[in-house]
């Protein structure tokens, strides 16, 4: 059970290692110090501390015995506004780390915390050593709170993936998929529209479709719902959506579960796209993320988890299909 930087709690099955020491379900009589940074945008440690204490009491009285929020001095410029990413960049420097720890030491002496919570800005690429340094210097486990956007942990993941692709010799292209070619139950290529208007054909032994739903352009509705790259069938609650009317996909009350948001492609355990009978449509086309149907990423609060899990499985099977 993780806290975030606006002071709410959220249950999760997996989390980042920088957030793991902040599992509220494992706390017992904790004294929590929420340590903010003067000038940091959209982070109010006093409010976050009060809210986290109140919510923890509702989950189980006694998880958090005391919570306080304080702002450490990080910038010499009074009233200066500090963006999340800029704070994370500065935290990569040892002089700013020392300045922050020295500023925090007085609050630690004042409140005697058993846990120290920080906004998720403890460095750009490797926050772990800095958090361990704080815990060592101040004698209390230190963790990052989950972040709302703009999210530095999300930027860390983005950077890590870019580095991994670069090291693996993977070519990245900014383009829009507009069509494909297939032979004998296998997709052989996709057609990409480049920003300058030119089109190119890209051949591959395996493909991963992670094109999202309506906003991202992975699904669209003209006369009927369709997947936009490979023309895969779209399903709603297990039924083919091609012949369904919009009335069947949208409920009149806004707080009802809307079937249209759980529409998507159907896949088997290997993440191969399948038809209504469960047979793979193209043996080398795998799907991941919100283009998949059967769940509402926002309402069910599992969008990121599904993306990670299905992306991992699709990636492994696509690599195996391609002979890697």
Kindly report the backbone phi and psi dihedral angles of residue 211, in degrees, each rounded to the nearest multiple of 5, phi listed first: -95, 0
Q: What Rg do the C-alpha atoms of the chain give, in angstroms? A: 24
d(CA 48, CA 144): 13
DSSP 4-65: BTTS-EE--S---TTTGGG-GGG-SSEEEEEEEETTBTT--HHHHHHHHHHHHHHH-TTSEE
Name the pairing type of β-strands 142-144 and 115-118.
Answer: parallel
pTM for the whole structure: 0.74
Q: 174-321 architecture in CATH?
A: 3-Layer(bba) Sandwich (3.50)
Strand partners, 226: 220
d(CA 219, CA 214): 5
Question: In which residue are the tokens 């796209």 written?
Answer: 273
Fold of 2-148: Rossmann fold (3.40.50)
Cα–Cα distance list, 16 to 143, 147, 156, 289, 296 (Å): 10, 11, 11, 19, 23
Strand partners, 116: 33, 142
Provide the residue-wise pLDDT of the chain in tens; the chain has 324 residues. 888 888 888 888 788 899 999 999 899 999 999 999 888 888 899 999 999 999 999 988 889 999 999 998 765 555 567 888 888 998 889 998 999 999 999 999 999 999 999 999 999 888 999 999 999 999 999 999 988 778 899 899 889 989 998 998 988 888 999 889 999 899 999 999 999 989 999 999 999 999 998 888 898 877 778 899 999 999 987 788 777 666 677 666 667 677 778 889 999 999 999 999 999 999 999 999 999 998 888 777 787 889 989 999 999 999 999 887
Q: Peptide bond before 134: cis, by omega within 30 degrees of 0?
A: no
**Token pair in block for residue 159:** 């950077």
Domain locations along the chain: 2-148, 174-321
* Residue 119 backbone zone (phi > 0: left; psi -120 to 50: alpha; other: beta): beta
């Amino acid at each position: 059970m993780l806290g975030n930087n606006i002071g709410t709690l959220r249950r999760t099955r997996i989390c980042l290692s920088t957030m793991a020491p902040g599992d509220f379900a494992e706390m017992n009589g904790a004294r929590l110090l929420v340590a903010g940074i003067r000038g940091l945008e959209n982070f109010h440690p006093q409010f976050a501390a009060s809210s986290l204490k109140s919510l923890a009491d509702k989950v189980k009285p006694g998880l958090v015995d005391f919570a306080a929020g304080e702002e450490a001095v990080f910038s010499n410029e009074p009233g200066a506004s500090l963006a999340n990413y800029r704070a994370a960049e500065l935290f990569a420097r040892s002089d700013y780390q020392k300045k922050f720890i020295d500023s925090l030491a007085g609050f630690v002496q004042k409140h005697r915390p058993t846990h120290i919570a920080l906004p998720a800005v403890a460095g750009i690429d490797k926050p772990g050593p800095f958090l361990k340094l704080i815990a060592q210097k101040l004698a209390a486990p230190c963790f990052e709170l989950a972040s709302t956007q703009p999210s530095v942990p999300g930027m860390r993941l983005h950077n890590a993936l870019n580095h991994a692709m670069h090291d693996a010799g993977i070519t990245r292209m900014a383009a829009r998929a507009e069509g494909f070619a297939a032979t004998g139950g296998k997709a052989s290529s996709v057609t990409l529209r480049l920003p300058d208007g030119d089109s190119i054909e890209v051949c591959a032994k395996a493909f991963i479709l992670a094109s999202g739903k309506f906003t991202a352009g992975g699904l669209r509705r003209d006369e009927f719902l369709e997947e936009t790259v490979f023309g895969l069938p779209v399903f709603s609650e297990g039924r083919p959506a091609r012949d369904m009317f919009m009335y069947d996909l949208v409920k009149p009350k806004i707080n009802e579960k809307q079937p249209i948001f759980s529409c998507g492609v159907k896949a088997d355990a290997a993440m191969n796209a399948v038809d209504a009978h469960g047979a793979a449509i193209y043996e080398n086309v795998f799907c991941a993320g919100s283009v998949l149907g059967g769940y509402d990423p926002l309402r069910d609060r599992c969008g990121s988890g599904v993306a990670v899990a299905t992306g991992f499985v699709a990636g492994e099977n696509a690599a195996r299909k391609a002979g890697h």
